[in-house]
Amino acid sequence: MKFFLDTADVDEIREWSQTGLLDGVTTNPSLILKSGRDIKEVLAEICDIVDGDVSGEVAATDYDTMLAEGRELAKIAKNICIKLPITMDGLRACKTLVDEGFKTNMTLCFSANQALLVAKAGGTYVSPFIGRLDDMAIDGMELIEEIRVIFDNYDFDTEILAASIRTVNHVKDCALAGADVATMPPSTIEKLVKHPLTDAGLAAFLADWEKTGQKI
């Protein structure tokens, strides 16, 4: 499973890219707002740091303007992935942009049928939002499982990019369900490495090593 960072904070992206664990980045208009930066400027900087796909979202809702904005964003760098909402105009724009050789990430997916439409439109990624479904007492992980079955039934190439991830268990369950990518905030990736038994075990090993008086 690929790990994407869900942020437009370049300092955090730079830090995580040094670990070698980072496969890409997703942004959205809210994250651009939070960064306080110009969208093209910040996406260019992110694309410079990360080799993998970097999603930049269009702001238009009609087909023609979505196309124009998508092509404009794609000029920023080779690894830009054009993010579009799942609407009829968005799906149509996805098909056109994919036919032109661009990568797309179809966002705000809340049903298996929406994911099926994205696969039929040839989308590179579909982004089901787990956390926002959980917020409404609907099991977001069930959606990931359903999409996995549908995509496997028909050998669709569209990748499942699990989004709106809020907990470490979301990450584990996405991996068990066969999501291709999990995009998560830096605070969640940080928590994945933590285990109290690892900390306690390491402290004990270090104390015993000190007593040996040896050096490597």
Out of 34, 78, 83, 103, the active site residue is: 83
d(CA 216, CA 211): 14
Please identify which residue in 13, 24, 26, 73 interacts with ligand E4P, judged by CB under 6 A: 26
Please identify which residue in 2, 71, 92, 132 interacts with ligand E4P, judged by CB under 6 A: 132
Q: Which is nearer to ligand E4P, 175 or 202 (CB)?
A: 175
Residue 83 known to be catalytic: yes
Q: Which is nearer to ligand E4P, 17 or 183 (CB)?
A: 183
Examine residue 129 and tell whether it contacts ligand E4P (CB under 6 A).
yes
Beta carbons within 10 angstroms of residue 49's beta carbon = 16
Examine residue 151 and tell whether it contacts ligand E4P (CB under 6 A).
no
Can you give 87-143 as a three-state secondary structure string? Answer: CHHHHHHHHHHHHCCCEEEEEEECCHHHHHHHHHCCCCEEEEEHHHHHCCCCCHHHH
CB of 123 to ligand E4P, least distance (A): 13
d(CA 127, CA 183): 9
**Single-letter amino acid code for the residue at 215:** K
Specify the stretch interacting with ligand E4P by CB under 6 A; choose among 88-96, 124-132, 144-152, 170-178.
Answer: 124-132
- Kindly list the catalytic residues: 83
